[in-house]
């Protein structure tokens, strides 16, 4: 599992690099302005609607497929898949029609500070972007199916063509018409779906139209889906609340929060999601076979490894928030005020990085056990906590308070998930994880001191790009040296695998 996850990390890096180029391109041509705010809100709306339709369904689909395959055989599981695809297309059609009819009200819900031209632009962008939900929904289902077949590489690469199309559309929109921003997002969704077709053909999968709402497995899936939808959409719901409030604070606030949250998601996309993609089908199979010993060992193993990676990343991003934003976005229409707002938001988002990571993994553990209610209750607590903290902290801290509220709610709710999972399955290596966390925090603190000193006092006159590369690489070396001194086993496994990959490439 670790070897596959490591390869997925490399692919995720490439995907995230193109994602950064996409955001940099948007910031260069439109900065943190009303146009970028309107575009980002339209993307947020379609993302949330997509999440409510399909992320919950695709998450429940994996363990359900494994259960049907285990009990009735592979043909029955394929029949279930085709039935589900048809039903998802029908549901998506209804959602798109409703979204188009009530687009004005939906935009006001997501950004109640919008008015005038900004509001009209956001509505138009949203109406065009809704069509993309068809293709993103099918892409998500096909991705889950490929993961069930052990095909992780191609699904991990779908961000590459998506980001390239978006970048091209941003450039075209600047020269011709801003409507190409919204049109580009739909085209990117189409290309992303088509990118999966060759891999699907290699699995010998063929879609056969079938509709049967009375299928007992479909009924069971949709019983699970409602709580899963709430649980899996927590980030989108929190971001929706953040952006809606930020639309009343300052122009460009939505853009600043979005750029910061996407940078914060970099670690999630590279490390956490890579592990989750590989882990979820495996632990779902363990749960279906009642293999709780390996199930608990896998959960503990992944959580410990994620701790080794995410904690130092969080510390590093907090220290380097401003130079990172300056390096990536500090050009074109992205002015000094936009840099300051985005850097402050990134700092406070980074505080909750480990909370976001643990929540992703622990939620999947519950879904594998076909317990979708616990993540749902946790999500409800998180949303309530985030809204209350948003109202309080934004009053004193502005945009930064919104980011801090999201981080606090993520940390609090991941702690609740830990407690709930331990009650459900018993001990799964919590003591070992706490020891690892303490050692990792100590090593990260030393690394943080080194990074802070190099960035602020030693390399201050260097070229920004060379300086950032030197500071980051020095911090990584210091961190792993201290991990080895503290005898953190997970670091040895990571370094051993890196050395093996380097030697294999040389050969």
Q: What is the DSSP string of 7-29?
A: HHHHHHHHHHHHHHHHHHHHHHH
What's phi and psi for 169, nearest 5 deg? -65, -35
**Residue whose C-alpha is closest to residue 38's, from 127, 102, 151, 98:** 127
What per-residue confidence (pLDDT) applies to 287? 73
The domain boundary, picked from 428, 456, 476, lies at 428
Distance from C-alpha of 469 to C-alpha of 476, rounded to nearest angstrom? 11
d(CA 182, CA 236): 19
What letters, b where the CB count within 10 A reaches 16 and e where it falls short, cover 488-507?
bebbeebeeeeeeeeeeeee
Same domain, 362 and 467: no
Question: Who's near 152: CB < 8 A, 6+ residues apart?
Answer: 4, 8, 146, 277, 278
**Global model pTM greater than 0.85:** no
How many domains are contained in the chain? 2
Can you tell me which residue has the tokens 């407690």?
419
- Same domain? For 384 and 459 the reply is no
Of the candidates 489, 436, 454, the one whose C-alpha atom is nearest the C-alpha of residue 311 is 436
DSSP H helices, 203-291, are: 216-232, 234-246, 253-267, 273-288
Answer yes or no: do 435 and 409 share one domain: no
Q: Supply the pLDDT for residue 32.
A: 67
Composition of the chain by helix, strand, coil, percent to 5 = 85, 0, 15
- Give the other-Cβ count within 10 Å of 487's Cβ: 9
Q: Does one domain contain both 144 and 225?
A: yes
DSSP 493: H
**Is 436 found in the same domain as 338?**
no
Average pLDDT per run of 10 along the chain, which is 507 residues long? 55 70 79 76 77 70 77 80 85 85 81 76 84 84 79 73 86 83 86 84 80 78 69 62 72 73 72 65 71 78 82 89 81 75 87 86 80 79 84 84 88 88 80 83 90 80 79 88 79 55 45
Q: How many C-beta atoms lie closer than 10 Å to residue 438's C-beta?
A: 12
440 shares a domain with 354? no
> What 3-state class would DSSP assign to 248?
coil
Same domain, 344 and 475: no
Q: Verify that 230 and 337 share a domain, yes or no.
A: yes
Both tokens assigned to 262: 């996407």
Last residue of a domain, one of 394, 428, 462: 428
Provide CB contacts within 8 A for 53, sequence distance 6+. Answer: 88, 91, 92, 95, 133, 137
Q: Which two tokens stand for residue 446?
A: 């030393």
In this structure, are 331 and 347 located in the same domain?
yes
- Can you tell me the distance from the alpha carbon of 422 to that of 412, in angstroms, rounded to the nearest whole number? 16
Residues 405, 476, single domain; the answer is: no
Going by the DSSP 8-state scheme, the letter that residue 268 receives in this structure is: I
CA distance 120 to 81: 39
Residues 449 and 409 both lie in one domain: no
- Predicted pLDDT at 354: 87
Comparing CA positions, the residue from 135, 127, 154 lying closest to residue 85 is 135
- Do 224 and 286 share a domain, yes or no? yes
> For position 501, what pLDDT does the model report?
45
Domain of 494 in residue numbering reads as 431-507
Q: Taking the alpha carbons of 65, 209, 224, 226 in that order, is the dihedral positive or negative?
A: positive
Sign, CA torsion 213/219/223/229: negative
Domain boundary among 367, 400, 428: 428
Rounded CA gap, 352 and 348, in Å?
8
């Amino acid at each position: 599992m670790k070897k596959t996850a490591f390869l997925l990390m490399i692919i995720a890096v490439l995907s995230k690099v193109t994602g950064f180029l996409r955001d940099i391109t948007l910031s260069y041509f439109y900065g943190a302005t009303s146009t970028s705010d309107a575009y980002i809100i339209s993307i947020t709306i379609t993302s949330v609607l997509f999440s409510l339709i399909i992320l919950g369904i695709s998450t429940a689909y994996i363990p359900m497929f494994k259960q049907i395959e285990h009990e009735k055989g592979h043909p029955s599981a394929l029949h279930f898949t085709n039935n589900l695809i048809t039903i998802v297309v029908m549901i998506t059609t209804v959602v798109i029609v409703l979204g188009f009819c009530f687009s004005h009200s939906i935009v006001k819900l997501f950004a109640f500070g919008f008015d005038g031209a900004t509001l009209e632009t956001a509505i138009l962008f949203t109406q065009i972007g809704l069509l993309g939900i068809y293709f993103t929904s099918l892409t998500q289902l096909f991705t889950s199916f490929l993961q069930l077949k052990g095909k992780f590489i191609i699904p991990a690469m779908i961000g590459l063509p998506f980001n390239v199309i978006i970048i091209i559309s941003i450039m075209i929109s600047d020269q011709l018409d801003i409507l190409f921003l919204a049109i580009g997002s739909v085209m990117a969704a189409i290309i992303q779906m088509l990118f999966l077709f060759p891999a699907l053909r290699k699995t010998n999968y063929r879609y056969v139209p079938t509709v049967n709402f009375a299928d007992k497995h479909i009924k069971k899936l949709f019983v699970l889906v409602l709580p899963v939808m709430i649980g899996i959409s927590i980030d989108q719901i929190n971001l929706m609340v953040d952006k809606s409030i930020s639309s009343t604070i300052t122009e460009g606030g939505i853009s600043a929060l979005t750029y910061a949250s996407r940078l914060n998601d970099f670690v999630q996309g590279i490390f956490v999601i890579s592990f989750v993609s590989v882990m979820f089908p495996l632990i779902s199979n363990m749960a279906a076979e009642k293999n709780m010993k390996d199930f608990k060992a896998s959960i503990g193993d992944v959580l410990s490894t994620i701790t080794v990676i995410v904690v130092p990343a969080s510390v590093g991003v907090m220290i380097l928030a401003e130079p990172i934003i300056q390096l990536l976005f500090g050009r074109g229409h992205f002015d000094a005020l936009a840099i300051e707002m985005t850097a402050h938001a990134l700092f406070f988002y980074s505080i909750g990085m480990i909370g976001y990571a643990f929540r992703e993994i622990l939620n999947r553990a519950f879904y594998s056990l076909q317990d979708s209610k616990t993540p749902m209750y946790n999500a409800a607590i998180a949303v309530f906590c985030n809204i209350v903290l948003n109202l309080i902290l934004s009053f004193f801290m502005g945009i930064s308070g919104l980011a801090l509220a999201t981080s606090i709610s993520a940390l609090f709710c991941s702690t609740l998930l830990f407690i709930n999972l331990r009650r459900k399955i018993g001990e799964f290596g919590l003591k070992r994880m706490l020891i690892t966390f303490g050692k990792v925090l100590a090593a990260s603190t030393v690394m943080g001191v080194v990074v802070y000193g190099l960035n602020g006092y030693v390399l201050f006159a260097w070229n920004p790009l060379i300086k950032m590369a030197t500071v980051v690489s020095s911090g990584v070396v210091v961190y792993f040296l201290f991990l080895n001194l503290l005898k953190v086993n997970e670091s040895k496994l990571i370094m051993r695998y890196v050395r093996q990959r380097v030697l294999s490439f040389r050969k």
